[in-house]
Amino acid sequence: MNAPLIECRQVKRFYQMGEVTVQALRGLDLCVDSGEFIVLLGPSGSGKTTTLNLIGGLDRPTEGQIVVAGEDITRYTEKQLTDYRRRKIGFVFQFFNLIPSLTAVENVEFALTLTEQNGRNLRRKAVALLDLVGLADRADHFPSQLSGGEQQRVAIARALANHPPILLCDEPTGNLDAGTGQQVLQVIRELNQQEGTTVVLVTHNTAIAPMADRVVRLRDGQIDHIEVNERPLSVAELAW
């Protein structure tokens, strides 16, 4: 039995708001295997984004450990954490956060400049990433000239610039209509199945849950329960 890729051990995250302590996570225990597709569900305020940010090294727990590929990232220095994010993590957010003054290909190239040692062929590499999400023909469009789903696919291409083994998606379809949301899910699904990318995807949309290997439900900063899908559905099979 291999060790899990991601292991959250009794992870707590408290925020001090004057006199009041907000307990965003109250002791989360979660293991994610390499190559798994996890959907994280739960009511607003249940701790989903907090969990993603902690796994992604954007934030640190108040207590507990997060072990990724055998290393306790909660012990990392800021510099090690930055390096961890570059090497291991791709983030996709609800609001695509593209740079409006750069074209699609330039947005991806910019991400490549942050990770590539070698500055050659950046455009070719960026176009190849856009091709992966089906958007090579929109390379020279600015974000304002793209649909929401296209913008999100550029954001996915950007997240993949460093070939991350872990893709963290926070409501990636939250801002999209059903059809475009499905296209975006399809891209994420293919990365998971073809590249073996481990995916943790946060959503409010319970219709997405059947495509996951496991569905983790959070409530009040803890795991309420975990469902295992013996036969995860394809995107086309989801009852949207």
Interface residue list for ligand ATP (CB under 6 A): 15, 17, 22, 24, 42, 44-50
Structure tokens at 158: 């950007």
From the DSSP assignment, how many helices (H) and strands (E) are in the chain?
6, 10
Which does residue 27 bind out of Mg ion, ligand ATP, none, counting CB within 5 to 8 angstroms by kind?
none
Residues 6+ apart with CB under 8 A from 5: 32, 33, 34, 36, 68, 69, 165, 166, 198
Minimum CB distance to Mg ion smaller for 23 or for 147: 23
Minimum CB distance to ligand ATP smaller for 3 or for 22: 22
198 binds Mg ion (CB under 5 A): no
Residues in region 112-171 near Mg ion by CB under 5 A: none
Which does residue 181 bind out of ligand ATP, Mg ion, none, counting CB within 5 to 8 angstroms by kind?
none
Q: Smallest gap, in angstroms, from Cβ of residue 220 to ligand ATP?
A: 9
184 residue type, one letter: V
Residue 185 contacts residue 235 (beta carbons within 8 Å): yes
Residues in region 5-64 near Mg ion by CB under 5 A: 48-49
Query: How far apart, in whole angstroms, are the C-alpha atoms of residue 148 and residue 223?
Result: 32
Residues 6+ apart with CB under 8 A from 23: 12, 13, 14, 220, 221
Which does residue 74 bind out of ligand ATP, Mg ion, none, counting CB within 5 to 8 angstroms by kind?
none
Q: Smallest gap, in angstroms, from Cβ of residue 23 to Mg ion?
A: 16
Which does residue 240 bind out of ligand ATP, Mg ion, none, counting CB within 5 to 8 angstroms by kind?
none
